[in-house]
A and B are shown apart, each in its own frame.
Chain A
Amino acid sequence: MADAPILIDSAKCMGCQKCVKGCGFGALSMVDSTANKLGKIAAVDPSACKACYACVKACPFGAISEVRQKIYGTENIEEYKNIWVFAEQTNGVVAEVVYELLTKAIELKKERGEGCKIAAALLGSNLTDEVKQSLIAAGADIVYVVDDPSLKDYEANVYVDAVAQLVAKHKPEVILAGATAIGRAFFARVAVKVRTGLTADCTMLKVENTENKDTGAMQMLLHQTRPAFGGNIMATIMTPNHRPQMATVRPKVFKKAPPDASRTGEILAEALSLIAPQTKLLKTVTDPDAINIAEMEILVAGGRGLQKAENFKQLFKLAELLGGEVACSRAAVDAGWCPVGRQVGQTGKMVAPKLYLCFGISGAIQHLEGIRGADTIIAINNDPMAPIFGVADLGIVGDLFEIIPALIKALEERKA
């Protein structure tokens, strides 16, 4: 039986059930007891308890306390310094999310205070000076460069080896990576290799300079906030006793600041002895029709309400008139009306367009998560209670099969 992270004092529990209601994980329940007059006291299910300690705050009688357990952690935590960003690049082109993360890192560095530096970890082959300088202009004080022929193409296992070696050598306090296909795949293995925690898909990051509850030493804790349970709740996660503190962030969650060419920084070449690649990239097959909806400024999206694949044709027409592209909800992908590459939402892409015009999308929480970065949302749905109206700047309750053709006509007339 696992020890529960909380202790319930049966003598103090009054059976008010505030802790049961306050627990987001259903870990608390009332059980029969002879400890008080009510005959019921709160009990915790250790396997469901996530140690969020919300119940400790919820209890008006002080009956619940935290149990601080001895846990294992990284040795010599105080040696870990600086904030790193993994500088993902493909064929010499740095992923946009890297610049977004460097912008965020500038803010975190300020919060961390004096002595903190920002470093970019750049892996590749025949990397140009221009690429390295672009990282400095975006905020990096140091660029660690591992330039090796085996890093020409992305290969998870060599990437893991290279980053894990850099971490062991330089001991960063924090490392951030984009939650891209590459970032998500190899970063998780790096975290395990260096035996630390990793929080995926953070939407908020904040620094807290605080005292370590176990050791009493001052340290920096990164508050990593992410959606959980399909976006139904937000959870703030910390890695108090292990270093580095690792997190991934989806593209478009943070905004990138314009580069500043006057910034200066060090470029340090790292000669590492790397493992041989375990797999070989034969070729990359790109779909000439593929579009990256994450980068579009105007998106016209359709969901279950479109009812069939043919109806998406009208959305393409509308998107063309507005100078945008077509996106869709998960329901439309599952029904086979629209390819997965156009899917918006938690299991699809996060988008940040100037205009998100959506038809027949009810607004499941997972979808709303994906359009959080949109400047303006216009929603058309026949259900006045659809959750999408809760986030739309303009909501139209009506029949999309009447509205779409009429809107196409109106826009065509404006053009003519």
Chain B
Amino acid sequence: MHVVVCIKQVPDTTNVRINPKTNTLMREGVESIINPFDEYALEEGLKVKDSLGARLTVVTMGPPQATVILREALARGADDAVLVSSRAFGGADTLATSYTISMAIRKACGGKTPDLVLFGKQAIDGDTAQVGPGVSEFLDVPLVTYVQALRLTADGAYEVDSQMDDGLHVVQGKLPAVMTVVKEASTPRFASLAGWMKAAKAPITVLDEKAIEADPIRIGLKGSPTKVVTIFPPPVKGGGEKVDARENAADGVKAIVEFLEKKGLVK
């Protein structure tokens, strides 16, 4: 069984701020991390490897610096790592990215479709949740989303719990599949020291547009139907009345109750 886990390096958006004077993103000091949701996808992949002896390949698309997250995945137990990287991929939207990653997966699997491809449910920088489903279309493999628990047997039959709005959908199917994984699936493991030592020396395959035999018109900015036309800071609503109740909590309580009465929010 061959499992591919797709991961992404993202800026830690909880720390990204806008400079109020220049209205630009302040990227200085913002750390790059493995997209948190991808950690759960990787853990699911590692669990399949542990239980069924699958081969586990990690794939990321990004600049050369993204090698860092591949090494981390190798240290945790992935067998091989692929960096999909080229200036020509720059500016890709979700369609061009889905195309590029699916071509890279094909290449990394020697032209075959892997049994299972795992993604985090979304990346925290773009928040689109579109690339996993997009890759499933390009690979022509069934799609299963929001996987919270995966029960897989060696013959490829699976049962998953999928988080939907009306509850948990318990869904049955047979590999191949592309699955997106949610946070509640598991707790990501730490890499061992031995794992790190092995990962430091492990080779990483780098694939560019030629290696994946991509159609030049379908990659990067040119291959992206969506265009960012403008960016602007989010509208700020002005704050209202403010009461300092640090000395006397009762002042705060009184203000709240009066406010609720005024607005007709308490009977």
**Is A364 in contact with B14, judged by CB distance below 8 angstroms?**
yes
Asked if B53 is at the interface (CB within 8 A of a chain A CB), the reply is no
**Residue among B89, B95, B233 making CB contact with A47, cutoff 8 Å:** B89
Within 8 A of B (CB), among A194-222: 195-201
- The CA-CA distance from A376 to B241 in the complex, in Å, is 12
A51 touching B16 in the complex, CB below 8 Å, given contacts A22-B24, A181-B146, A355-B265? no
**Is A397 in contact with B242, judged by CB distance below 8 angstroms?**
yes
**Is B91 in contact with A2, judged by CB distance below 8 angstroms?**
yes
**Is B233 in contact with A229, judged by CB distance below 8 angstroms?**
no
Interface of A is mostly: mixed
A192 touching B142 in the complex, CB below 8 Å, given contacts A239-B225, A322-B266, A366-B14? no
Q: A126: shortest Cβ distance to chain B, in Å? A: 18
In the complex formed, the residue of B with least CB distance to A407 is: B253
- The CA-CA distance from A109 to B257 in the complex, in Å, is 45
Q: A-facing mask of B141-158, CB < 8 A → 1, else 0?
A: 011111000000000000
In the complex formed, the residue of A with least CB distance to B142 is: A278
In the complex formed, the residue of B with least CB distance to A408 is: B253
Q: A222: shortest Cβ distance to chain B, in Å? A: 11
Within 8 A of B (CB), among A44-87: 46-54, 69-73
Q: B-facing mask of A1-45, CB < 8 A → 1, else 0?
A: 111010000000000000001111110000000000000000000
Asked if B249 is at the interface (CB within 8 A of a chain A CB), the reply is yes
**Is A378 in contact with B259, judged by CB distance below 8 angstroms?**
yes
Interface residues on B, range: 35 or more
**Is A236 in contact with B229, judged by CB distance below 8 angstroms?**
yes
Q: B31: shortest Cβ distance to chain A, in Å? A: 14
Asked if A114 is at the interface (CB within 8 A of a chain B CB), the reply is no
Interface of B is mostly: mixed
Q: A80: shortest Cβ distance to chain B, in Å? A: 13
Q: Which of A168-176, A256-264, A280-288, A306-314 contacts B (4 or more CB under 8 A)?
A: A280-288
Q: Which of A100-108, A141-149, A154-162 contacts B (4 or more CB under 8 A)?
A: A154-162
Q: Which of B91, B170, B257 has the most CB of A within 10 A?
A: B91
In the complex formed, the residue of A with least CB distance to B96 is: A197
A233 touching B242 in the complex, CB below 8 Å, given contacts A5-B91, A52-B229, A240-B227? no
Q: Which of B24, B95, B130, B217 has the most CB of A within 10 A?
A: B130
**Is A237 in contact with B168, judged by CB distance below 8 angstroms?**
no
Asked if B18 is at the interface (CB within 8 A of a chain A CB), the reply is yes
A376 touching B170 in the complex, CB below 8 Å, given contacts A188-B128, A229-B16, A411-B257? no
- The CA-CA distance from A48 to B232 in the complex, in Å, is 17
In the complex formed, the residue of B with least CB distance to A90 is: B166
**Is A232 in contact with B249, judged by CB distance below 8 angstroms?**
no
**Is B91 in contact with A50, judged by CB distance below 8 angstroms?**
yes
Within 8 A of B (CB), among A260-294: 278-287, 290
The 9 tightest CB contacts between A and B, nearest first, are: A47-B90, A197-B225, A230-B13, A398-B245, A278-B142, A197-B226, A402-B249, A286-B167, A242-B225
Q: Could you give 15 example pairs across A and B, Cβ below 8 Å? A: A181-B163, A181-B164, A189-B143, A195-B95, A197-B224, A230-B127, A239-B227, A281-B169, A284-B168, A378-B259, A395-B241, A398-B245, A399-B246, A407-B256, A414-B257
Binding site for B on A (CB under 8 A): 1-3, 5, 21-26, 46-54, 69-73, 90, 95, 154, 156-157, 160, 180-182, 184-186, 188-189, 191-193, 195-201, 223, 227-242, 278-287, 290, 298, 322, 340, 346-347, 354-355, 357, 364-366, 369, 376, 378, 380, 382, 384, 389-399, 402-403, 406-407, 410-411, 414
